[in-house]
């Protein structure tokens, strides 16, 4: 099952002044709850010409299953993402987690953190892309028997 959520990032617009220039900041946030779900979700957002920066923040706390989150630019090029898995061991009943992060891009900055706590797996990705390609960007969320919470925040900065 595939769910598509379209977002015009102009949902919240905050005007600010920085170094004598007027800049517009737009933000978007969405949370997804999973209960032993196998699903594909897609969030889309419009990035206008002249956008100086797009920042992505993903946070997740899962108690079971497999999560893959991917950021794709309008040309379909992967600009970041991560995988997180929490599985229960059949022998001793304890949970284990693993993660994977594969990024390479000269116009972006990425920070990823994965921890485990009492059998839960926690993941976080902060990704900043300077001078992003204009067009429709996608965040893809794939889940396999996933239980837990995933949150996405996106912010854009552009000259006004």
Identify the pLDDT of residue 42: 96
pTM of the model: 0.73
In the chain, pLDDT over 70 holds for what percent of residues?
65
- Whether the per-residue pLDDT at 94 is higher than 70: the answer is no
- Residue 129: pLDDT band with limits 50, 70, 90: very high
Which residues, at least 6 apart from 135, have a Cβ–Cβ distance to it below 8 Å? 46, 47, 73, 74, 75
- For the chain, give every domain's residue range: 2-16+29-159
Identify the pLDDT of residue 113: 55
At the top level of CATH, the class of 2-16+29-159 is mainly beta
Identify the pLDDT of residue 17: 36
Tokens for 88?
A: 């229960």
Mean pLDDT of all residues belonging to the chain: 77
- The DSSP output letter for 131 is S
Identify the pLDDT of residue 123: 86
More confident of the two residues 19 and 114: 114
């Amino acid at each position: 099952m595939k769910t598509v959520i379209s977002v015009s990032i102009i949902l919240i617009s905050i005007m600010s002044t920085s170094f004598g220039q007027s800049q517009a900041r737009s933000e978007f946030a969405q949370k997804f709850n999973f209960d032993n779900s196998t699903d594909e979700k897609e969030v889309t957002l419009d990035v206008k010409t002249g956008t100086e920066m797009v920042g992505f923040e993903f946070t997740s706390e899962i108690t079971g299953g497999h999560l893959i989150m991917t950021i794709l630019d309008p040309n379909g090029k992967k600009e970041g993402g991560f995988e997180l898995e929490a599985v229960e061991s059949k022998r001793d009943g304890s949970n284990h987690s693993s993660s994977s992060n594969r990024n390479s891009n000269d116009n972006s900055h990425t920070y990823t953190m994965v921890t485990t706590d009492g059998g839960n797996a926690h993941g976080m990705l902060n990704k900043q892309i300077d001078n992003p390609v204009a067009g429709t960007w996608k965040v893809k969320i794939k889940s396999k028997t996933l239980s837990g919470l995933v949150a996405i925040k996106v912010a854009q900065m552009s000259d006004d």
